[in-house]
Amino acid sequence: MSMLIQPGPEQTGLFKYCGKCVMCRQYYNVEPNPRPEWVKGTPYDPGPEMRLRWQTELNSYIDKVDTLCEHSCQFMEGEYVLACTCSKMCSSSGCSGGMHGAKSSEFITSYGRLLITHFDGAGRLGGCFIEEIRGLDNTSPLPIENPKPLTQEYLDILNNLLNDSHMFNGTLIQLDRSRTPYEDRYNKKLFYKLIYNFNKYQNMKEEEGDDEEGRDKELAHKDYIINFLEDELNGIFDKWEDCKKKLSETQKKLDTSVNFIKKNKKSLNRTGSKKKKYKKKSKNDNK
């Protein structure tokens, strides 16, 4: 079962770390996971010094853009920015690149939208905005009326691709050479395909859930009717069994009486004759 992203309760700002993805585990958590053996000694080795530099640079960058983003961007209810998705921090130019001072960057929000920050050549913050979800061809608005919050499972997929970008030359992050200086940006075509599929199937699950809820109510009503009828029938059967028992007891008493009469028929007849004679004799005596 998929689980919604749940940042630690101590994170109260607009930018939050999920704490569970590969980026958090390797670079941003206070106590990151041990480094894999194959990474040690390579250019991709997130040693203690690099990890501390990444944390310091990213948090410093967030401090610069936090207030402006909060007041100039329209966020959905409960939406926040996932700090661990910063495009510049895991760039196609290599994980040792870091922020290199204040530059433009892109972040994924908890609803799968892109927050884009702009700095000019002098390092001054020019603005930030939320890019609306686009179509699969990255040209037209995507027809999703009810975007869903990302699950931790899906964020893990995105950040695995993000982490691989600096190792395999741009899976989810691409170097935009049309800008000076070069900027690391999300591969929009791939990103929006992934977000489109996520929202499509989340909405399908919700619709199926509504159908299942309707079926559950219908089945519950049928179960109620069945249980009611079973109780009524059980009551009738109980009364019937009670009547059968009383009838059987009455029949036994009747059979006992019939048998007694049959066995004692002669004696009963003699007793009856003596009584009649006695009565007749009594009448003669009186005369």
255, 133: one domain: no
Q: Which of 205, 232, 262 is the last residue of a domain?
A: 205
3 belongs to a structural domain = no
Q: Rounded to the nearest 5°, which phi and psi values hold at 122?
A: -90, 5
Structural domain total, the chain: 2
Do 170 and 279 fall into the same domain? no
Query: Domain boundary residue among 183, 205, 227?
Result: 205
Answer whether residue 4 is part of any domain.
Answer: no
CA atoms within 13 A on the CB side of 115: 28
Q: Is residue 81 assigned to a domain?
A: yes
Name the token pair of 137.
């061809």
pLDDT at 81: 95
Q: What is residue 15's predicted lDDT score, i.e. its pLDDT?
A: 94
Domain match, 276 and 228 both = yes
Q: Mapping DSSP to helix (H, G, I), strand (E, B) and coil, where does residue 180 land? A: coil
Q: Is 246 exposed, middle or buried (0-12, 13-18, 19+ CB in 10 A)?
A: exposed
pLDDT tens, N- to C-terminus, the chain (287 residues): 468 888 877 788 899 999 998 888 888 887 766 666 666 666 556 667 777 877 888 888 898 889 889 888 889 899 999 999 998 876 544 444 445 555 688 999 999 999 998 877 666 777 888 887 665 555 555 556 678 899 999 999 888 888 776 554 567 887 777 666 667 788 888 888 888 888 888 877 776 655 556 566 667 767 767 776 777 777 777 777 888 888 888 888 888 887 877 777 766 666 655 555 555 555 555 55
**Whether residue 221 is found in the same domain as residue 179:** no
pLDDT at 70: 86
User: Which structural domain, as residue segments, surrounds residue 171?
Assistant: 15-205
Whether residue 6 is contained in a domain is answered as: no
Does 148 lie in the same domain as 247? no
Final residue in a domain of this structure, among 205, 225, 260: 205
Same domain (yes/no): 41, 182: yes
User: CB-based burial of residue 194 (10 Å sphere; 0-12 exposed, 13-18 middle, 19+ buried)?
Assistant: middle
Are residues 201 and 85 located together in one domain of the fold?
yes
Query: What's the start-to-end Cα distance of the chain, in Å?
Result: 114
Same domain membership, residue 235 and residue 176 = no
Are residues 146 and 50 both part of a single domain?
yes
Q: Are strands 15-16 and 81-82 parallel, antiparallel or unpaired?
A: parallel
User: Does residue 226 sit in the same domain as residue 252?
Assistant: yes
Per DSSP bridges, beta strands 183-186 and 173-176 are antiparallel
